Structure 1
C-alpha cells in the first residue's frame, strides 16, 4: 500500500559559482516534499512498519518521542491515513495534548498521548519496560523512537534508487543513525557517506555499528562498510535543539539564494557542514555530491 508518492521528492540542483567550487555538481534530494506531515526520512522509515502492522493485523503503532518530535507527528499522520490507531509515549509528565502545536496536531490526528516522567522515558529501551508496554497494549506494534529499527533502515535504502547512478559523496543529518545506515547499505561501494550528527558528543560509528550488527552479523563486513563513512562531528552548534545567529543567517541565505528551506535542528546543520567541507576541497575531476533533505520543517 503506497500512502505517499515519493516521486514528489525531486532532485534540486544547486548552482554554485564554478570558480569557487570547480568540478562540483550539487544535488538536493527533496524528501521534505513527500508529504507536509510525514515528510523526509520519516515516511521512508515508516513505510515497511505500516505494512508490518497490517500484515500482523495489529490495531496500530505505539512509539516514543519528545514534545516537539517530528517522528510522533509522522506516525500520527501515517496511521491516520492508513486507517490505523496510534499511541505516543511523550517525555515530560508535566505536558498535555495542548502544550504546543506539535502535540495538538498529533492529538487532532487521533494519536493517544501518554505523558511520562523523564526518568521513566529514559528506560524505554530496557527489555522490562518494552515488555510492560507490549503487555499493556498487545494489539499495537512497538516502534522505537525515531523509527530506529530494521524496517526503518530497509525503507531508507530505497532513497538511493532515486539518486543518480553515480554519486561520489552523499551527505545526511544524523539522529538515530537509521537513515544513514540505510543509505550506507543501499549506496554504491564507491560512494562516500558523510554523516552530520546533531547531538553533541554522539559516537556515530559506535551507534551505526550497533544498528548494523544484527543486519550484517559479520564484523569484517561491517568494518568494510564503515570505511566509507566520514563523520562531521563539530557542526552541532552546541547540541541537539541548539543554534546561534550564524546558523540562522546561513539558513536564511540558503532560502534566498537557492530557494532551499532548511530547519535549524537537522538539515540546516548538515547543509552547513557540506558547504564548509566544499570550501576546502580541490577536486581535479567532476564530482556529484548529493544532500538528503530529511524534512523536519514543521518544528524548524
Structure 2
C-alpha cells in the first residue's frame, strides 16, 4: 500500500553569501496532506501487516492535536480500516468539534476513547490492552507516535542514494522512530543530528534500542520549554522562513528543528563547505490547533 509519492528534488535553501555550507530540505511534507512525512513512513509497513493479519481495525494513542492520530484516521479511511483513538485527557470528550485535529479524525470515521492522563501513562500495560480488547474486540495495535520495528523499517526508506552525498542529516525527534530509521540507512561518513521537541534525556535510550549505528547525536537546546511549547520568537521565525523560502514549518517539530539549525549555522557549528540535509517530517495540520491556542493568548498567528 502506497501513495504516489511526491519525488521532487531536495529543495535548496539560499543561505547568505557569508556561509560556505549548503543547506537542502527533503520535502517529505509533500507526500500527502495528512499522512505526510514520517507518518506515512511509519504507517506504511504497519498497514501492510494489518492486512496480512486480516485485521479490520487499527487502534492507537495520542493527544488532542496529535499528527499521528489524524494520520491513522485518514489512512484508515483511505485503506479500508476501522480506527480507534485512545485520547489523553477526559476533559476533551465534549471538545471534539472545537478541536480541528479530532474533528477531522472523527470525520474520517475514527472512534474515540478519552482517558485520564494517569490512565494514559499506563496505556501499554497488559491489563489496559486487555480491557481495550474487551471493549472494542480484536484490533491491530499501533503505538503512540507510531514507533515500532515496522515503523523503523519504513523510516529507513527516507534516505535515497542521492542523499548519501550529504555530510549531515538533520531531523526533529518525537518518539525516536524517524531518526532511528535514518541512522540505520545512513553511511559511516554522515553525521545524523536529532533535534528533540521534548525535554528530558530518555530519548537517548529509546533511540539506542533501534539504531544500529553510532554516527548520531541529539541537539537538546531547542525544545522551547517542552512538547508543544511555543513563543513569539518561534512564531516569527516560522513565518519569516515560509516567506523567504516558501516552505511551511509546524510549531511542534520542524519549526524548532529549523530554528535550531539556523542558530547553529550562525554559531559556526558546521564545518566549512558542509552539505546539510534537513528532513521535513510534515505535521503541518497541527498549525490550525496551535493558532487556536495563540488566538486565545492574543499572540501572533502562524501564517
- TM-score by structure 1 length? 0.90
Shift of the alpha carbon at 1:60? 2.2
Q: Which residue of 2 aligns with 1:113?
A: 112
Q: Please, which of 54, 69, 87 is the counterpart of residue 84 of structure 2?
A: 87
RMSD: 1.7
1:165 corresponding residue in structure 2? 164
Match status 1:275 vs 2:267: no
Range that drifts further, 138-147 or 149-158: 138-147
Query: Residue deviations 1:207-232, cap 9 Å, x none?
Result: 212344xxxxxxxxx5xx23x11211
How far apart, in 2, do the equivalents of 1:207 and 1:284 lie? 29
Partner of 1:209: 208
CA spacing shift, 1:16–1:150, aligned 2, 3 Å:
same
How many Å separate the matches in 2 of 1:254 and 1:163? 25
Match of 1:297, SS?
coil
Superposition deviation, residue 265 in structure 1: 0.8
Q: Secondary structure at the match of 1:95?
A: helix
Does the CA-based 8 Å contact 1:44-1:155 persist in structure 2? Answer: yes
Once the 2 structures are TM-superposed, how far is the Cα of residue 9 of structure 1 from its aligned partner?
5.5
Where 1:290 maps in the other structure, the secondary structure is: strand
1:1-300 matches, cutoff 5 A: 1-2=1-2, 4-8=3-7, 10-19=9-18, 21-22=19-20, 24-96=21-93, 97-161=96-160, 163-212=162-211, 222=212, 225-226=213-214, 228-281=215-268, 286-300=273-287
- TM (norm. structure 2) is 0.89
Q: For residues 29 and 130 of structure 2, what CA distance do their matches in structure 1 show?
A: 34
Query: Equivalents in 2 of 1:33, 1:53: separation in Å?
Result: 25
Shift of 1:285: 5.4
Residue 206 of structure 2 aligns to a residue in which SS? helix
Unaligned 5+ runs, structure 1:
213-221
Structure 1 residue 280, shift from structure 2 partner: 2.6
